[in-house]
Structures are given as C-alpha cells and as structure tokens.
A and B are shown apart, each in its own frame.
Chain A
Amino acid sequence: MGRVKPGPSSDKGYNMTLVTFFQQLLNGVSLGSLYSLLAIGYTLVYGILGLINFAHSDVFMLGTYFTFFVIGIFVLPWWLSVVIAMGLCALVGMTIERVAYRPLRSAPRISALITAVGVSFFIQNLGLVTVGARPKGFPRPELMENVYSLFGIRIQGVVVWVPIISGVILLFLLYIIYRTKTGMAMRAVAKDMEATRLMGVNVDRIILYTFALGSAIAAAGGAMWAARYPQINPLMGIFPGWKAFTAAVVGGIGNVVGAMIGGMIIGIAEIMIPAAFPGLTGYRDAFVFAILIGFLLIKPSGILGEAQKEKV
C-alpha cells in the first residue's frame, strides 16, 4: 500500500518541536477528515438497516479508480472528475443495495452481513481482473502539491485542502440530514421503519438515497485519499475501510456527528502517536485497533451512541 512517511520526526527520532507538532497535528486532521468521510457511509447504513456494509470500502476504492480514469480518458480537471466519480459511486451503491441487500431485508441479519462480505470480495476481485493488481500512480492535482507557509510552519496542499473540502462535504451532509424532507425521512426510517411507512414515505427509496449519499461521499474521500497516498490498487480500500469502521464505532455507530468525531480521533491518533514515539512507528495500525478495543471495553456504545434498546 502506498504510504507516505508521516513527517521528518519519524525518520530520525529527534524530539518534536512545536513546529513539527503542529505539522503533525494538521496532518492528523487531514487524515482524520478522510476517515470521517468514509465512516459516514458505514454509520448511515448501519443506522437504517443495522447492517455493516463491508462493501463500502470497495466503493471507496472504486471512487479512486473512477476519478483516475475520468482524468485520464476525458482529460477533465481534477475536481470535475471527482464529482463524476461521486455520481458513479452513488449508482454503484444503489445497485449494491438493490441487488444484494434488498432481497434480504427480512432475512436474519447474519445473512445480510455475509452477503456484504461477499459483495466486498466480488468488487475487489472484479478490480483485480479488470484493472490488474499492479498499483497505478495517481496524478496528484496541482492544488494538493502546493506548499503553504503559515507562521513558519510549512504545510503541503493536501494537508490544507483535504480538511477544507471534507468540511464542506460534511456540512452539506448535515444540511441534507437535518434540514431537508428526505433527511427527515432518513432519520425517521432509522428509528422506526414501519411507522415511517405509515407516514406515506417510500422507505425503499429513502434507503436507496442513503446508499447513494454514503457512496458518493466515500468516492470523494477516495479521490482525496489518492491525492495523499498516490498509489492506487484494487485492494486499497481494505485498511482505510477497517479504520473508518473503527471510527464509526468509536463515535457511536448510527450517529453521523459521532462518525465525524471518531474519524478525527482515529486520524489524529494514527499520526500523532508514532510521531511522539518514533520507535513505535511500525505499530501505527495497532494503535488504531487498540483504541477500538479500549472503547469496546469501556464504552461500547461509542462517544455519541445511545445504549441501544432492542427494537421490538
């Protein structure tokens, strides 16, 4: 997996100065906002269907490939390619729901869960067959290559722009969920699907919208991930997916704001812990899952999650 070293401090192991501290912190925020974007999709679907959509990380991967091909084939600007990739991923997400999950809506939860794993494998292997296992170099947009200087801290464009773009997307998402009629229906479906039906809401359609929304946001996350780690391959979604899912659980799965907070915590921890203890850099992924285990032991409902009563 293409991975950029987190910063100079992990190279030599000298103590963090204030400057590197802020550099690392911003770097962590940047990574965290990507986890937030990906975590949203897990939490939205879980909130509504009680399903862990394992295929979500592969939709994220598809987002990077769609962006890659749209840039390469149609020679469009980066941002427009991302928008197109978001649309394509929305379609993929809706197709997955319609084909794989809807027929199992009333089946036991474990059947849907296994199906989700199956869809995930299917997309990964489809990727291996069609585009091959060899990583492709993702063209970094110029915006992300710029280096900015702020109070003597030198920061890369990707560290500045990723959180800003993510922030705009998350605000837009919050607007949809809390200020639109469709968003209101989504919140209602998440609480009581049958009662929502009785309101005249076409619940199947609302579920499709939810998948479309989560997938489009994952695509945006994927495109920015590739700008950060510019090597893409069909299995690249797996690790970010696990971590984003961890973020969703830490924030309280089913809670959108929780997913954003969880994403930040995971991203910052993943960057800051190895930066503070350079000797432990090799364990950076382990820290993330240690946080997950810690939460599961102490507060399994997550930061903003309510202790779930079993729906009767």
Chain B
Amino acid sequence: MASRLARSAVGAARLRPTISPRTLPAVSSLVTARNQSTQSNVPTTDPKTKAQSIIDALPGSNLLSKTAILSSAAGLSIYALSNEYYVVNEETVIAFCLLSVWTGLIKYGGPLYKEWAESQNNKIKNILNAARADHTQAVKNRIEDVKQMSEVVEITKSLFEVSKETARLEAEAYELEQRTALAAEAKNVLDSWVRYESQVKQRQQKELAEAVIAKVKKELENPKALDKILQQSVADVERIFASSKSQ
C-alpha cells in the first residue's frame, strides 16, 4: 500500500510542478538505503517464499493472468492520472483510509460474522434435527405400541367365538340345570309319594295286624274257639306224628 501511495505521490509530483523533480530519483535510492539498513537488524525470511507470497497476493489464477492484470491496472492508472481522469488529492487520502477500514472490517469481521452465522444456523439445525429425531423416536414408539395390538382383530374374533361358545354352553348348562332341577323336584315328589304310600301301607298292615290280633284275642276269649283250636292243634299233631311214624 505504501508503494501505491508513493506512486500516487510521484504522480502528484508530476502533475504539480511546485514539487521538485529531484525527489523522484531520491525515492529509489532511499528505499534501497532503508532496505540495506534494516537487513542487518531484522531477521529476514526466505526471499523465494516472500516473492511467492507477493505473487500469490496478486489477483489472477496463474502467472500470465497476474501479469496481465497487474500491467493493465498499471497502464490504466497511468492513463487515468496523466489525462486527469483521476486526480490525486486529499480525497485520495480519505478514500485510502475508508477503504482500509472497510477492507479491515471485511477481512477480519467477515470470517467472524460467518462463524457466528454458521453457529446460529447450526444451533437451529441441531434443534430441528433433535426435534426430528425425537419425533421419529416417538413415532417408532407408537408403532411398537400399536404393533402389539396388530392381532387384535383375530384375537377379538376368537374371543367372540369363545364368548359365543361360552354363551351356548351356559345356555346348555342352564337347560341341564333346569332339567336336573325338574328331575330332582319330580324325584322328591315321587319319593314323598313312595314314603306316603309306604306309610299308608305300614299303617294298614299295622291296623290289619292289630285287627287280627284283636280278633284272635277275642276268639281266644271264646271257649269254643279255644276248643276248636285245641282240637285242631291235636289233630295237626296227630297228623304230623302219624306222618312221621309212617315214614
């Protein structure tokens, strides 16, 4: 940049005759002298590297385009200055200062801004990605939950069949129960009838026996009957005796 200013100063000097032309040769001699004086004290870098870095700093992709750009820029500058299309004055100083500030801002502030903007974008991206991952996980969980119920139709159908079978069996069981109850009721009725009949029979037999006994007792009280019994008994004994004897 200093060289550019020096060139501008040289251009201004050419334009203005008030500046002594003897300053012009002094520029190169002073620069050389300064270089020689500083070389001894300041540790120097490799001249090849330094030269390469200067060449790399120039605009253009290869050496040819760099040379072309540099020579056209120099030619245009000389043309503009010599024809007073561009006049070097205090506005040039302001332009240099403002451009320096803008360049510094863009060069040093630009990467910082880019880094900040990217960090902001990454923050938003991370939030979105995390939300997306959470949503995916939630959907997967839901799928897993629902998957457990995937055979619910078949199970419901079989349950319905089972319930139908159960209802049918319950109906049969109820019917059988009713039949059993009816049979038990009938049996009870019949048993009661049997008991009643047996009681009636016992009572009739008892009454009959009592009537016979009473009649026999009454007959026994009658001497004629006793005689008749006795005679009958004797006759039976004799017959038994006679039969046993004959045998």
Q: Do A and B come from one complex?
A: no
Write the residues of chain B forming the contact surface with A, with a CB cutoff of 8 angstroms.
none
